[in-house]
A = this chain, B = another copy of it.
Amino acid sequence: MNNGRFAIALHILTLLDKANGELLSSEYLAGSININPAMVRKELINLRNNGFVQSKEGKNGGSSLAISANEIALGAVYQSVKQTALLGSQKNTPNPKCPVGENINEHLNNLYNDTELVLIEQLSKQNLADFSSKFN
Q: Give the copy number.
A: 2
**A side interface size, CB within 8 A:** 48
Complex contact A4–B92 (CB within 8 A): yes
Cross-chain contact A87 with B2 (CB below 8 angstroms): yes
Give 1 or 0 for each of A94-135: 1 = CB within 8 Å of chain B CB.
110011110110011001001100110011001000010011
Residues of B with C-beta under 8 A to A34 = 93-95, 101
- A134→B107 CA distance, assembly (Å): 8
Q: How far is the CA of A71 from the CA of B115 in the complex (A)?
A: 20
State whether A84 touches B4 (Cβ < 8 A).
no
Contact present for A2 and B134 (CB under 8 Å): no
Contacts of A99 in B (CB 8 A): 135-136
Q: Which 9 A-B pairs have the closest CB atoms?
A: A4-B89, A2-B2, A32-B98, A118-B122, A32-B101, A6-B87, A1-B2, A34-B95, A32-B95
